[in-house]
Amino acid sequence: MREALRLAAHGRGRTSPNPMVGAILVRDGRIVGAGWHRKAGTEHAEIHALRMAGELARGATLYVTLEPCSHTGRTGPCAKAVIEAGVRRVVAAMEDPNPLVSGRGFQMLREAGVEVDCGLLEPEARQLNEAFLTWVTKKRPFVTLKMAMTLDGKTATADGESKWITGEEARLYGHVLRDENDAILVGIGTVLADRPSLTTRLPEGNGKNPLRIILDSKARTPLDAPFLHDGAASVLIATTEAAPKENVDRLRGLGAEVLIAGAGPTVDLPLLLQSLGERKICSLLVEGGSTIHFSFLREKLADKIYAFIAPLLVGGKSATSAVGGEGFSRLADAARLTNIKTEIIGADLCVSGYIGK
């Protein structure tokens, strides 16, 4: 099962809105087939493993990270293929929470005489597909906040200088996160200050560009913003009814999609996330700025944080902090991380963790 989970992770950032799935076929103590789901709309992990095994699949045990599907979507039902291949036993890490599958795949297998066990390494399987599980159960994307700061928590100097706080290795890691997520979000303040392209730039040149979302309550996005003209990925401007119609019309005229999310004065984040969920956006990377970070935390809409901390001290009462807004007035209300992981990336420290609800 650990090998199946390792294989499943090869699909990270490519299978949405499907889950990442790995499958291993074992017969007489040796692996005879292996596979993983590569991309939404293509064959599932079980089919790749069955094809590799051929006749050796008959009487084998299938280890799979998620319950085999029982319905016909863009591909056929995997449970049926497993039965027809003569697999004797299926060991799954977890049941699929998707209402189209949930328990039905196991039922189909058992009715055909296939032995089924479920729950092996389930916590690991759930973490692997945390974005998919959030999307299926909460109807919104899994939200990750990503921030880069100095040791004293500043994202820029008092004069606004921010390039670059962290080193090249940490910035590359940030592009890996972009590659793994369906969408990236920044606020109009970041757009006006930095003129970002919001693309994925990896050394191999094969990174996936996510949907680019701008929180812009008054549709102030400059018409010459790079992301409106490069054609690298779609652009969604999330604004409000307070935005001047002429601004909205100009942005739409340049090919951006404009979503009216609330009456104002700020974008209605729950409404925005609901809309993204309906569009099958399963994962969202929020890159700030500081007010937006706090808004997601205050609304309890953030699921995970990556904080890149550089060994710098800049000080300054007016220097921007990683999390701004009005802040929490009580420590008991503050966002607290769990399952914390720390690692050194170049000269910087990366602290990641999940936000307790």
Residue 11 makes CB contacts below 8 A (sequence gap 6+) with 20, 21, 36, 37, 38, 39
Nearest to 188 by CA among 164, 221, 166: 221
Q: What is the rounded (10 degree) CA torsion for 129, 131, 136, 141?
A: 180
* Cis amide linkage into residue 265, ω under 30° from 0: yes
Nearest to 195 by CA among 156, 225, 234: 225
Active centre residues (catalytic): 46
Please name every residue paired with 350 in a beta bridge, in sequence order, or none if there are none. Answer: 308, 343
Residue 83 CB coordination number (10 Å): 18
Residue 231 CB coordination number (10 Å): 10
Distances (CA, A) of 121 to 2, 56, 94, 116: 8, 26, 8, 15
The amino acid that residue 237 corresponds to is I
Distances (CA, A) of 324 to 38, 82, 123, 285, 303: 39, 53, 34, 18, 18
For residues 334 and 328, the answer to whether their CB atoms sit within 8 Å is yes
